[in-house]
């Protein structure tokens, strides 16, 4: 996969020595910029736009999110708890499968609970009825698989053959929608408008007979709405068309779009030696701090990378041989102690960090590129590593 980073932006002037290393730095001005775009889409299209917490759950910015978006969507019990504790507005929860012991609390916390198959809805019918008899108010949704592959990378394609995500639309009947208030469709990953238009064109003929009985249609996430080249006007037109033609409330669940180009991961070169090429060890670990570098895989953009000079293979301090971030060009050979930063790391990287090998977790800082205000929100220590073990 190619990085979607648009460039350094305001981070070109950020003082990398002003924060501990490693450290995520998130620019609240950039977050507000993205949220403003998403609010405008919601206002003009009529869509209810939700933050996908799975991509960006920096809850110290929950109030800012609440000023712009309709609510949040969670992927399970713990994210649902986080949403109710810190965020505002409507909460939708979806998981490929639920544990029976978790579901009562999920039903209590959520405004909408989306299931992955009609069988699950039927299996948990007693729990759903019990929650409603206790006075809980919520709606039920069903995720469908449009069986139309539009994702650019097979491993991130929810519509791949054998996918566990969503009930195949070719199997969907009116009987499956008894007690269901809406449908959820999520088939994109870091994509522009055209794949969404193609998916909807394939789905609309199948869903048209069913939509009159439903209240809403959730078009999921994967929309790169805040990318400079995204076709915002086309999205607004499509949402309005769906709403007017079928009488349903449309939802969008962007995740990356909220934090796109809004954060960096600052690190430090710890050592440099030669082994067929220059090799640099940093306190940033691909496997611990940017796992998508290995899982996707992709090459994150380096802040102020030189056009020519010395090529250095950068990797982390863990024992994993594959803990390699990538090969980067420096104007001159970097020395131990030199600060570096990778772009566009506010989404997914922050929520996926781990402490394999006892590698410390990055600190988290909130920066305002307009005023220069810098707030170190969180630092992690040995006890954070120790207390998750036994």
In this predicted structure, what is the pLDDT of residue 153?
76
Task: Quote the Cα angle for 282-283-286, to 5°.
Answer: 80
**Alpha-carbon distance 367 to 233, whole Å?**
31
Find the mean pLDDT for residues 290-307.
95
CATH of domain 46-259: 3.20.20.10
Is the pLDDT score of 137 beyond 80? Answer: yes
pLDDT tens across 6-59, in order? 889 999 999 999 999 999 999 999 999 999 999 999 999 999 999 999 999 999
Find the mean pLDDT for residues 119-132.
98
pLDDT > 90: percent of the chain: 92
Inter-axis angle of helices 232-246 and 193-207, to 10 degrees? 10
pLDDT tens across 67-88, in order? 999 999 999 999 999 999 999 9
Residue 154 to residues 158, 159, 161, 163, 211: CA-CA distances in angstroms?
9, 9, 10, 11, 30
Confidence of residue 249 (pLDDT cuts 50, 70, 90): very high
Find the mean pLDDT for residues 229-252.
97
Domain spanning 9-25+262-386: CATH superfamily:
Lyase, Ornithine Decarboxylase; Chain A, domain 1 (2.40.37.10)
Q: What is the DSSP string of 336-363?
A: TT-EEEEES-TTTHHHH---GGGPPPPE
In this predicted structure, what is the pLDDT of residue 158?
85
80 three-class SS? helix
Is the pLDDT score of 4 beyond 80? Answer: no
Domain with CATH 2.40.37.10 in the chain: 9-25+262-386
In this predicted structure, what is the pLDDT of residue 131?
98
DSSP state of 131: H
In this predicted structure, what is the pLDDT of residue 3?
67
Which residue blocks in 164-306 are alpha helix, DSSP H? 193-207, 232-246, 256-259, 286-289, 292-295
DSSP lists the bridge partners of residue 167 as 144
In this predicted structure, what is the pLDDT of residue 281?
98
Domain with CATH 3.20.20.10 in the chain: 46-259
Find the mean pLDDT for residues 132-156.
91
Average pLDDT, the chain: 96
In this predicted structure, what is the pLDDT of residue 156?
80
In this predicted structure, what is the pLDDT of residue 196?
95
């Amino acid at each position: 996969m190619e990085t979607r980073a648009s460039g350094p932006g305001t981070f070109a002037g950020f003082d990398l020595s002003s924060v501990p290393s490693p450290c995520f730095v998130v620019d609240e001005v950039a977050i507000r910029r993205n949220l403003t775009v998403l609010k405008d889409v919601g206002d003009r299209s009529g869509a209810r736009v939700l933050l996908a917490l799975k991509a960006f759950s920096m809850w110290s910015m929950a109030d800012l999110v609440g000023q712009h978006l309709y609510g949040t969507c969670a992927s399970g019990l713990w994210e649902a708890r986080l949403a109710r504790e810190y965020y505002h507005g409507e909460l939708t929860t979806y998981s490929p499968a639920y544990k029976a012991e978790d579901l009562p609390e999920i039903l209590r916390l959520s405004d909408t609970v989306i299931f992955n198959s009609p069988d699950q809805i039927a299996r948990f019918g007693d729990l759903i009825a019990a929650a409603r008899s206790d006075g809980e108010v919520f709606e039920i949704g069903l995720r469908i698989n449009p069986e139309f592959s539009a994702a650019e990378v097979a491993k991130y394609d929810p519509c791949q053959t054998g996918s566990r995500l969503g009930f195949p639309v070719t199997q969907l009947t009116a009987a499956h929608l008894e007690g269901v208030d809406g449908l959820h469709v999520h088939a994109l990953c870091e994509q522009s408008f055209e794949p969404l238009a193609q998916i909807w064109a394939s789905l609309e003929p199948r869903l048209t007979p069913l939509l009159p009985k439903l209240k809403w249609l959730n078009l999921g996430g994967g929309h790169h709405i805040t990318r400079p080249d995204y076709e915002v006007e086309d999205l607004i037109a499509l949402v309005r068309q769906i709403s007017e033609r079928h009488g349903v409330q449309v939802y969008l669940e962007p995740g990356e779009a909220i934090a796109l180009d809004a954060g960096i991961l600052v690190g430090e070169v710890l050592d440099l030696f030669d082994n067929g090429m220059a090799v640099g060890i940093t306190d940033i670990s691909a496997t611990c701090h940017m796992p998508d570098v290995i899982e996707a895989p992709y090459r994150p953009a380096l802040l102020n990378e030189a056009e020519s000079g010395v090529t250095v293979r950068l990797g982390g301090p863990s024992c994993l041989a594959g803990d390699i971030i990538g090969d980067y060009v420096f104007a001159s050979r970097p020395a131990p102690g030199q600060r570096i930063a990778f772009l566009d790391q506010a989404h997914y990287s922050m929520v996926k960090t781990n402490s394999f090998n006892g590698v410390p977790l990055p600190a988290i800082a909130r920066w305002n590129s307009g005023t220069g205000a810098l707030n170190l929100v969180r630092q992690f220590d040995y006890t954070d590593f120790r207390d998750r073990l036994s």
